[in-house]
Each structure stands twice: as C-alpha cells, then as structure tokens.
Amino acid sequence: MVLKAVNPTTGETIREYEEMRPEEVGRIVEAAHEAFLAWRKSGFSQRTGLMKNAARILRENRDEYARLMAREMGKPVRDGRAEVEKCSWACDYYAENAERFLQPETVGTEASQSFVAFEPLGVVLAVMPWNFPFWQVFRFAVPAIMAGNTVVLKHASNVPGCALEVEDVFHNAGFPDGIFRTLLVASEQVTRIIEHPLVKAATVTGSTAAGRAVAARAGEMIKKTVLELGGSDPYVVLEDADLEAAVACCVASRMTNGGQSCIAAKRLIVVEPLREQFEQLCVERMGQEKMGDPLWEETTLGPMARHDLRDELHRQVLQSIEKGARCIMGGQIPDSRGAFYPPTVLSNVAKGMPAYDEELFGPVAAVVPARDEEEAIRTANDSSFGLGAAVFTRDTARGKRIATTELEAGCCFVNDLVRSDPRLPFGGVKDSGYGRELSHYGIKEFVNIKTVYVR
C-alpha cells in the first residue's frame, strides 16, 4: 500500500510513501524496546538537556514546519508557527519539571520506609490525528519520553511528511536511536502493533470509533490506554454575559484550525434574550475571516484537510437545514478547486439535527437557543461527548459554580475559550475518552505507580 500526501488547496499529490511491511514494523518495535532498556536508566539531567535541544530545533525550524503543515493538511502558516511554538513550550516545561513530578512520594506506615515510585512502562504506541500534526504528538510524547518510555508513532495517513519531521526533531536533538520512531503504516496494521508483546501501552487522539477499536484490542491484551477523542463542546452564554467578549471567544474557538479541533466551540447555547444580537455579532465576526491559500500570510481560514471531510461537513449542514435549522451565513461549497468551506452560521439548531447531535469538524457555528440557565446547562450536557465546555457570565462566582459542578466535561472554562496548556491536565469524559495528558497528571499516565515497602 502507498501512503499519499495530497495538498488540500490544489488537490495535487505532494509525495507518495511506501507503507512499512509488518516485519519492518516488528524490527522497529524491537529496537524501541532495546532503547528503552538503556533509556529507563538515564538520568534526568541527560533527558532534560536533550529535550531542551528539541525545543530549540522546533523554534529554529518553525517556518519550515508551518509550511509543511500548510501543504499537507491546509493549516494557515501563521497558525502552524503558533503550533510549533506550543510544542517547544511543552518540551521546555517537561524538561524543567519532569524530575520534580516523578520524585518518589514518602508515605508514613509501620514500615521503616515506605514510598511510591514512578517507573516507566516501556514502548508506547501513539495513534495520532492530522488536525494538529505536531502538537498532538509532542503533547503525548514529551512527558512519556521524559518519564523514561520510548515511543512508536502511527500518524494519520495524510500527514506522513509531518510524521517523519517529528521523528527527525528527536533524532537531531541527540536522543538515542529508537527513543522515538515513526511507523508509516495504514490503520489496518494498528491491531497487530497493539498485540506485539513489547508494546506495553497505547494512546489515541482521534475519533470515538478509532478510540473504541484501540481500547477494545488493548483491553483484551490488558494494556493501558489513554484516549482523547471527539467533542461537541458547548459554550453557554448566559443573560448577564459581556456579549461582545462572549462572541469574540465563541468565534475564535469555533474557527480555531478552521473548526477542525476537538475542543472547538461546537454548540453555542445562548439564553434567549441575547440570541438575536449574538447571532448578528457572530455573523459579523465570522465574516472577517480571510479564506485562501494557507501559505499566504493574510489567510486565516485555509481549506479543510481533505475533500471527503469537507463533503461530510456539507452533508451535516444540509441535513440540519432540512430538519429546521436556518442558515444565516455560508453553507455553500465554493466554486473553486480545493477543499474549502466558508464560515457558516446555523440558527434554530435543535436536538435531532446533525448540528446538535454530531460533531461538526469544520467552520460551522451552531446556535442553540435556551430559555434560561437551567435549560442551557441541560442542553450543554445533552451530548455523548464531554471534552470541553465554557460558560460566559459577568458573575464569576456563578460561572465557577456552573463550570465546577454543573457541566459534564473534562475541561471547563469561564469567560474564555477552551484550550490545552502544559501546566493543566487535558482530557475528557463520556465518549470523549479517559485519562489525562499534560501537567503532572499526564506524565504519570504511562508509568508503573509502584509501592515500595521496607521493613
């Protein structure tokens, strides 16, 4: 099989890559295990120095990486640069904090000494998506490697160039051979890789279907998994919100990465007295987006990553309109080449429509009316997903209460848009997955939390 990188702006094939055969994959996993046996004994000073090198390489080459992302999956170069900067931040953060996070924890018992140690597991398989082709990988790999594990990456098939460049970052930073390896394979090989006895755990960022498949096989093999899956994030705008600020956050979140983000604002739930004005301001702000070639500096909205994804999004929009939603902006496929879809706003969105029930992975804002706070919260939680959520109100105590005790999501923000941060745990509940990435919680996901008891 051939893995093909296709430019979504032009539809032209950038490059084709031969898929690795199972025997080659097996050799790479074995090499990763051999590297682990030595890496687990390395000191934090060595790991820190190498990870600082990785941060430097990322910053020095951010323009090149941004252009690669633009060509392979349509991300505007200005957004690609920001993504690379965030990766370097994660490298620096864990270089500076991993040793502290993994210090043994003394526990008082009847023993002369008892403590909890954190030991790496071994080779970890990462199945990663195309939408943030650098950040999604570094978000997981940096803490995993700093903890003493080694990584094999199965990246999305449409970003093979990005996958190989990420491997080169670690190689050029001086990490020993086998610490991080990219596997150029199709999804059909994932099950076999999970089954490999030297693969000790797996992590998935992607669709709920992909997460279920990996978790099911890993569960049969009794191997640890972390899943960061889809989302249909609700943004609740209450009657006392600062409307201008709320709209700005909602639109910024909805349009992040062209709407192709798990934590983008998907359902904008607006308490009725504000709905009409909210929609007007939303249309005004989304109308300021500049759609075009992602290699152009002025572009803020590039094409979607693939034509089939664009067509699926359009189907969801049309079916929502057929079921009673009102399209007040966009909703038409441009008459031009490329997988472009315009900023789109749907009003009167309700349960039973794709825009309400499904994840819309593109630049489509779905406005859902609510009578009051109680109905808004009930609507927000009326989803199989639970990744992120936000609430907007001038009463911060009210917002804090709703975010803390009312909203069913792993990441809840008040008067701001949901985003990941190396200092905070990131992950979801319900069909959005389980486990956490980032912060001290993330680095402890792929370690043996070991009790040591000395009489």
pLDDT at 1 exceeding the cut of 90: no
pLDDT score for 373? 98
pLDDT at 318 exceeding the cut of 90: yes
pLDDT at 216 exceeding the cut of 90: yes
Considering the chain, tell me which residue range(s) the CATH 3.40.309.10 domain(s) occupy: 233-421
Both tokens of 311, joined, read 């067509």
**Class of CATH domain 2-229+432-454:** alpha beta
Q: Residue 338: helix, strand or coil by DSSP?
A: coil
Q: Are 287 and 321 in contact (CB under 8 A)?
A: no
Q: Are 377 and 236 in contact (CB under 8 A)?
A: yes
Q: Are 84 and 70 in contact (CB under 8 A)?
A: no
d(CA 1, CA 13): 16
What are the two backbone dihedrals, phi and then psi, of residue 190, each rounded to the nearest 5 degrees? Answer: -60, -45
Residues of the chain with pLDDT > 90: what percent?
100
Give tens-digit pLDDT for 331-381: 999 998 999 999 999 999 999 999 999 999 999 999 999 999 999 999 999
Q: Roughly how many angstroms between the first and final C-alpha of the chain, as a whole number? A: 58
Report, as an integer, the average pLDDT of 45-67: 98
pLDDT score for 380? 98
pLDDT score for 44? 98
d(CA 334, CA 407): 37
Give the containing element (helix H, strand E) for 365: strand 364-370
Higher pLDDT among residues 181 and 336, named by residue: 181
Give tens-digit pLDDT for 249-277: 999 999 999 999 999 999 999 999 999 99
Confidence band, pLDDT 50/70/90 cuts, at residue 119? very high
| Average pLDDT value over all residues in the chain | 98
pLDDT at 103 exceeding the cut of 90: yes
d(CA 246, CA 415): 7
Strands (E), 136-245: 150-154, 180-182, 199-205, 224-228, 233-237
What's the length of the chain?
A: 455
Task: Domain 233-421: give its CATH architecture.
Answer: 3-Layer(aba) Sandwich (3.40)
* Helix, strand, coil shares, percent, the chain, to 5: 45, 20, 35
d(CA 47, CA 331): 50
d(CA 152, CA 256): 28
Considering the chain, tell me which residue range(s) the CATH 3.40.605.10 domain(s) occupy: 2-229+432-454
Residue 322 pairs in a beta bridge with none
CA triple 292-161-178, angle to 5 deg: 150
Q: Are 441 and 425 in contact (CB under 8 A)?
A: yes
Both tokens of 73, joined, read 């999956």
106 CB burial (10 A radius; 0-12, 13-18, 19+): exposed
Nearest-10 Cα torsion for 157, 227, 386, 347: 0
- Kindly list the catalytic residues: 228, 262
Residue 224 pairs in a beta bridge with 201
Cβ partners under 8 Å of residue 119, min gap 6: 40, 148, 447, 448, 450
Strands (E), 85-179: 105-106, 113-120, 123-127, 150-154
pLDDT score for 336? 86
pLDDT score for 330? 98
Give tens-digit pLDDT for 73-96: 999 999 999 999 999 999 999 999
Residue 293, amino acid: D
Q: Which parts of 382-433 fold into alpha helices (H)?
A: 396-401
Q: Are 364 and 207 in contact (CB under 8 A)?
A: no
Cβ partners under 8 Å of residue 6, min gap 6: 12, 13, 14, 158, 306
Q: Is the pTM of this model over 0.75?
A: yes
In the block, residue with structure tokens 């570094």: 138
d(CA 91, CA 250): 29
d(CA 10, CA 379): 40
Rg (CA), the chain: 22
pLDDT score for 141? 98
d(CA 349, CA 250): 16
